[in-house]
Amino acid sequence: MKFDTVRLTAVTAVSVTALSALAATACGSDKNVGEATSGSSGTLAAHVGCGGKNDLTAEGSTAQQNAIALFNQVWGQRCPGKNVSYNPTGSGAGREQFIAGHVDFAGSDSPLVSQQIQPAVNRCNGNPAWDLPLVFGPIALAYNLPGVNRLVVNADALAKIFTGEITRWKDPALTALNPGTVLPDTKITPIYRSDSSGTTDNFQKYLAAAAPQSWIKGVGTEFQGGAGEGAQKSAGVVQAVQATPGAIGYVEKGFAEQAGLPFAQIDDGSGPAPLTDETARKAIDAAKFAGQGNDLVLDLDSLYATKEAGAYPLVLATYEIVCSKGYDSSTAAAVKSFLTVAANDGQAGLSQAGYVPLPDSFKRRLLAAVNALQ
């Protein structure tokens, strides 16, 4: 689930603006870090101070690099002198470095896998590691259909498009989803990532969860559909869609927005849902957790196969992997402080950088886990 280095460059100007706004907000606040903060549905966090060491280290997912930069800026403003050094080497490397004890926490597109759980316990001095979903980014279905300003698709149609079963935009399955819209009798060119990609993995997991009868190709970071044209990286997908009338491709929202490409709405049974912060948050809010307690591994089927009205389900989740206990006291205090700021004040600039701010109820559950860290 990576947004790629290209994406990070693409949103740099946005991030700088967001960082400035966040810094101004932080400087204007006289609350203690983590002081109880109320949203529309009540108190979100208990007090957590600025104790602990000044410098944290982390490594992993490129998808969350810009989010971590935003969070770090706010943390430094709220707790002067505090800083996270984040190395965006990829999720697998981040998990390995965390398990080896080389970094304080990992950023990862997926939780620890089964064979990593006991080594993580050993790294945490006999205590479990927790997977905390903190950063979410939506995937847009960008398309090139001149004159079609509103397009609705569903998982079943997408599965058939990306396997070559549906080949023209005027197919009855698509016209039924788009009453009142004249779809051209144009060839469909699906555009997929030709490089290994977490975005591809999550797109295929969405198809497998929401259209299991039509998507039997499997999942993984390599595209399995067998139809269409491949493009390298997210920027390549955008360029291919722009250059190809009739094309549709899956790409991070920030890339599609920057390129000015329209993107489709999704209707998986409860009516069309456009891709907005609100509809993505609604899907996140409907997601369930796979486990018990404070290891907040998400049940991706509950996210991708949601029938919640007004929910846009195609959303990437990335985790912070931390020790539940077993840190020295200085590291534990700093990790709690950083994560509390990230889940509270740090949410303000995420939308500008292509991410989805956390819904309040999800934030409360996340903060309960953060507050339980020892």
Residue 38 labeled ligand binder? no
CA distance 96 to 352: 31
Q: Are residues 230 and 318 in the same domain?
A: no
Q: How many structural domains is the chain composed of?
A: 2
Render the burial of 296-325: b for 16+ CB within 10 Å, e for the rest. bbbebbbbbbbebeebbbbbbbbbbbbbbe
Q: pLDDT per residue over 66-123, tens digit each?
A: 899 999 999 999 999 999 999 988 888 899 999 999 999 999 888 898 999 999 999 9
CA distance 37 to 340: 11
AA identity, residue 366: L
Residue 2 backbone phi and psi in degrees, to 5: -115, 140
Render the burial of 138-174: b for 16+ CB within 10 Å, e for the rest. bbbbbbbbeebeebbbbbbbbbbbbbeebeebebeeb
AA identity, residue 43: T
Last residue of a domain, one of 244, 276, 308: 276
Q: Are residues 190 and 103 in the same domain?
A: no
Q: Are residues 65 and 83 in the same domain?
A: yes
CA distances in angstroms from 201 to 2, 9, 210, 343, 347, listed in the order given:
10, 22, 14, 26, 26
List CB contacts of 65: < 8 A, sequence separation 6 or more.
Answer: 3, 8, 86, 88, 107
Residue 20 labeled ligand binder? no
For the cut 90, the answer to whether the pLDDT of residue 9 exceeds it is no
CA distance 319 to 26: 24
| CATH code of the domain covering residue 213 | 3.40.190.10
Q: pLDDT per residue over 120-141, tens digit each?
A: 999 999 999 999 999 999 999 9
pLDDT at 16: 38
CA distances in angstroms from 279 to 228, 318, 344, listed in the order given:
29, 18, 20
Q: Are residues 129 and 15 in the same domain?
A: yes
Residue-averaged pLDDT of the chain: 87
- In the chain, pLDDT over 70 holds for what percent of residues? 87
Q: Let me know: does 192 contact 228? Beta carbons within 8 Å.
A: yes
Q: Are residues 120 and 146 in the same domain?
A: no
AA identity, residue 308: E
Q: Are residues 164 and 255 in the same domain?
A: yes
pLDDT at 48: 52
For the cut 90, the answer to whether the pLDDT of residue 20 exceeds it is no
pLDDT at 28: 35
Over residues 255-262, mean pLDDT: 92
Over residues 259-279, mean pLDDT: 95
For the cut 80, the answer to whether the pLDDT of residue 19 exceeds it is no
Residue 61 labeled ligand binder? yes
Q: Are residues 28 and 134 in the same domain?
A: yes
Q: Are residues 109 and 188 in the same domain?
A: no
Domain that holds residue 10: 4-138+279-372
CA distances in angstroms from 36 to 41, 52, 227, 280, 341, listed in the order given:
13, 20, 52, 26, 11
CA distance 47 to 26: 16
Q: Are residues 198 and 128 in the same domain?
A: no
Last residue of a domain, one of 276, 299, 318: 276
Residue 91 labeled ligand binder? yes
CA distance 67 to 86: 11
Of residues 219 and 4, more confidence is placed in: 219
Instruction: Assign residue 228 a region (left: φ > 0; alpha: ψ between -120 and 50; beta: otherwise).
Output: left
Of residues 197 and 275, more confidence is placed in: 275
Q: pLDDT per residue over 299-317, tens digit each?
A: 999 999 999 999 999 998 9
Q: Are residues 286 and 252 in the same domain?
A: no
For the cut 90, the answer to whether the pLDDT of residue 164 exceeds it is yes
Q: How confident is the model at residue 286 (pLDDT cuts 50, 70, 90)?
A: confident
Q: pLDDT per residue over 146-155, tens digit each?
A: 999 999 999 9
Residue 230 labeled ligand binder? no
For the cut 80, the answer to whether the pLDDT of residue 163 exceeds it is yes
Q: Let me know: does 284 contact 183? Beta carbons within 8 Å.
A: no
Q: pLDDT per residue over 333-359, tens digit each?
A: 999 999 999 999 999 999 988 899 998
Over residues 202-223, mean pLDDT: 94
Q: Are residues 159 and 251 in the same domain?
A: yes
Instruction: Assign residue 269 a region (left: φ > 0; alpha: ψ between -120 and 50; beta: otherwise).
Output: left
pLDDT at 8: 35
Enumerate the β-bridge partners of residue 135: 318
Q: pLDDT per residue over 28-74, tens digit each?
A: 333 333 333 443 333 344 455 899 999 999 999 878 888 999 999 99
Over residues 207-224, mean pLDDT: 94
Q: Are residues 143 and 84 in the same domain?
A: no
Last residue of a domain, one of 260, 276, 292: 276
Q: How confident is the model at residue 233 (pLDDT cuts 50, 70, 90)?
A: confident
The pTM of the full predicted model, rounded to 2 decimals, is 0.77
* Torsion angle, alpha carbons of 155, 156, 157, 161, to 10: 90
Residue 109 labeled ligand binder? yes
Residue 7 backbone phi and psi in degrees, to 5: -65, -40
pLDDT at 47: 58
The gap from C-alpha 221 to its chain's centroid, in whole angstroms, comes to 16
Q: Let me know: does 139 contact 156? Beta carbons within 8 Å.
A: no
